[in-house]
Amino acid sequence: MGHPAPARQGQPQTAASSAAKPDGILLDLMTGAETLHDSLELLAAASARAVVRTTDVVIECAVVVRQPKRTPAITGTTPDVIRLLEWEQHEGEGPVSEVLSGGHPVAVLQRSGDFRWPRYCNQLQLARLGSVLGVRLAVDQGAGEARNDGTPVRPTSAALAFFAQDAKAFPLQVISEARSFAGLAAKSLQMALDLHTARSTASDLRLALDSRTSINVACGVIMAQNGCSYHEAFSILAKASSHRNIKVRRVAEDILERLPEGPPRAHFGH
């Protein structure tokens, strides 16, 4: 196992910095990460440290993850690189858009004399940056899925973007290091995505079970009070929901909160 990469000045050493080279281990993108955004912050910091070891210039990093039916998740090591990546995702012009669209897995932009993305180069100039390296991360969530109408769902895609003030900050040695690190980053990100998805699914299931419990108990109260069937009790809830323009669960909870002993507590996931 390689020695840990040193933390950059002003940045604390984190679990994500424990991997210096892609030698079979994974970056820890979950410790202390409650959300996907937290995991991406760890990944951006670790990626910048990995590439800065091969050059004497300051390197900043941003990361983007596109997931089906969700707004792209974007973060980075400085506000400027986050803003640049957000602009690029909105406009669809730049090296990261190139690699995410299925082009080459690596795209290098040197602002001086590079005319492929003129509007993007203007944004770089405003940020006082001279070069960008975009690297695609091979993740495969959502591959093969389809919408209800049968049209395919675009699978999850992700990329790293490295930024430097120097217009020639990414020679072949640095590009090679970035590509090598991208393999480790992709595996680590895939695991983080899977775990965050599992957490979200479990949370949604608990909410659904809690919601169903509240509705069922409220229906029981209505049945006892009105001597009606479950179907009729649920219809009463549904009508109240429509009349008040709130969810059926909220109507049910209002009924249960007025019980003398208070609302029953669901125990799913506790």
pLDDT in tens, 243-255: 889 988 888 888 8
pLDDT in tens, 194-218: 988 888 777 667 777 777 888 888 8
pTM exceeds cut of 0.75: no
Check residue 151 and give its pLDDT. 52
Report how far residue 105's alpha carbon sits from residue 100's, in angstroms, rounded to the nearest whole number: 8
Instruction: Confirm or reject CATH 1.10.10.10 for domain 205-257, answering yes or no.
Output: yes
Specify the CATH number of the domain 15-19+26-200: 3.30.450.80
Q: Residue 178 pLDDT > 60, yes or no?
A: yes
CB contact at 8 A, 68 and 91: no
pLDDT in tens, 51-105: 888 888 899 999 999 998 889 999 999 999 999 999 999 999 999 999 999 878 9
Q: Where are the domains of the chain?
A: 15-19+26-200, 205-257
Q: How confident is the model at residue 18 (pLDDT cuts 50, 70, 90)?
A: very low
Percent pLDDT > 90 in the chain is 46
To 5 degrees, how large is the angle CA 151–CA 155–CA 157?
A: 150
